[in-house]
């Protein structure tokens, strides 16, 4: 398969910014749909799905922050994966271990599942806080024999986890065809056969991914996308079902949870790692869909 070249934007300051400054810029970039962020010595590099997203982000940053130097790039996915080999090691979340293909599998212990993910700059490897938070919640959800919908599946790590934790059926959707290619590779690596991949833009008010409803929905997206998704998730969930929503930070919590409440979802739990959150929510009405 020919390696994809990702549009990227380097952001640099005269001196290395502190973590709060980096988090602020990452939040500002969120509306331009960055697919990954990578630190460097003077700032960070943001990767985007399209050149247009990158260029709009560059214009916005240059207009709001003239002290920041921006440089547009095209970066090979293969080059990123090669560089990542030194940095990416297995990560353990509860009883799940997520590892890159070159790392040896863990020894025999109490791990419920070992998931192998081929790194790609565009899609999650399990190392981000929001992915780890979702993996923790999946281990607390009743999955055995249930139907799970994973929205914005990316690498497929959450869909694979749901399958290995006992879900009977998993439907994983994404708006990006490259994400589904990445997810398919990872399904094959993990020999998972009960995950169905679909190209679907849920923001376009499309039919439900599962006609008869879902027991669990995972949505590791962004605060803005979760706000738009909330009414759909509420309709798609069975009564008593669970939404696992992450990809947003503490400063977005009030607006995201307010959108969930307006959609008829009640937040029943929250977990925090650094400044990132996951919430679990369920429909308040007796029937859902």
Tell me the mean pLDDT in the region 116-122. 74
pLDDT above 90 as % of the chain: 49
pLDDT in tens, 258-282: 999 999 999 999 999 988 999 999 9
* Torsion angle defined by CA atoms of residues 107, 110, 113 and 118, in that order, rounded to the nearest 10 degrees: -40
C-alpha span between 242 and 51 (Å, rounded): 36
**What percentage of residues in the chain have a pLDDT greater than 70?**
87
Q: What is the CA radius of gyration of the chain?
A: 19
**Residue pointed to by tokens 């934007």:** 9
Tokens encoding 66 = 């003239």
Q: What homologous superfamily does CATH list for 91-283?
A: Vaccinia Virus protein VP39 (3.40.50.150)
Contacts by residues 24-28 (CB-CB < 8 Å, ≥ 24 positions apart): 25/61, 25/65, 25/68, 27/249, 27/251, 28/60, 28/61, 28/64
Q: In this predicted structure, what is the pLDDT of residue 77?
A: 62
Does the pTM surpass 0.75? The reply is: yes
Name residue, tokens 């290995």.
Answer: 164
Taking only the tens place, the pLDDT of each residue in 168-221 is 999 999 988 888 998 999 999 999 999 999 998 887 766 788 888 999 999 998
CB-based burial of residue 207 (10 Å sphere; 0-12 exposed, 13-18 middle, 19+ buried)? exposed
CATH of 5-83, picked from 1.10.10.10, 3.90.79.10, 3.30.930.10, 3.30.70.100, is 3.30.70.100
Q: What is the largest CA-CA distance in the chain?
A: 57
Structural domain boundaries in the chain: 5-83, 91-283
pLDDT in tens, 144-166: 999 999 999 989 999 999 999 99
Q: Higher pLDDT residue, 207 or 112?
A: 207
The token pair at 199 is 């190209």
Q: What angle do CA 210, 214, 219 make, to 5 degrees?
A: 95
Task: Please tell me what DSSP assigns to residue 158.
Answer: H
Question: Model confidence over 13-65: pLDDT tens digits?
Answer: 888 777 777 777 877 887 787 767 777 777 888 888 789 989 999 999 999 99
pLDDT number for residue 127: 75
**Would you state the pLDDT for residue 289?**
45
How distant, in Å, are the alpha carbons of 188, 225, 258 from that of 133?
24, 18, 20
End-to-end C-alpha distance for the chain, whole angstroms:
40
Q: How far apart are CA 11 and CA 33, in angstroms?
A: 16
């Amino acid at each position: 398969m020919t390696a994809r070249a990702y549009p990227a934007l380097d952001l640099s300051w005269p001196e290395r910014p502190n973590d709060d400054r980096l988090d602020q810029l990452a939040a500002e970039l969120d509306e331009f749909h960055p697919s990954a962020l990578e630190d460097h010595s003077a700032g960070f590099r943001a990767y985007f799905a399209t050149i247009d997203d990158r260029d709009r982000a560059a214009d916005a940053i240059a207009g709001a922050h003239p002290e920041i130097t921006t440089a547009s790039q095209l970066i090979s996915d293969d080059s990123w994966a090669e560089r990542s080999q030194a940095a990416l090691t297995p990560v353990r979340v509860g009883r799940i271990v997520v590892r890159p293909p070159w790392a040896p599998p863990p020894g025999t212990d109490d791990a419920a599942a070992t998931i192998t993910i081929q790194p790609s700059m565009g899609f999650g490897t399990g190392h981000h806080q929001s992915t780890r938070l979702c993996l923790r919640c999946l281990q607390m959800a009743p999955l055995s024999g249930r139907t799970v919908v994973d929205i914005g599946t990316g690498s497929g790590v959450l869909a694979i986890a749901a399958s290995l934790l006992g879900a009977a059926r998993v439907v994983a959707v994404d708006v990006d065809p490259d994400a589904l290619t990445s997810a398919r590779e990872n399904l094959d690596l993990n020999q998972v056969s009960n995950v169905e991949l679909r190209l679907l833009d849920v923001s376009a008010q499309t039919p439900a991914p599962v006609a008869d409803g879902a027991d669990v929905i995972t949505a590791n997206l962004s605060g803005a996308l979760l706000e738009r998704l909330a009414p759909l998730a509420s309709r798609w969930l069975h009564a008593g079902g669970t939404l696992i929503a992450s990809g947003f930070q503490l400063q977005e919590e009030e607006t995201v949870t307010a959108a969930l409440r307006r959609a008829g979802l009640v937040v029943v739990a929250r977990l925090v790692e650094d400044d990132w959150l996951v919430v679990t929510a369920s429909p308040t009405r007796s029937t859902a869909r």
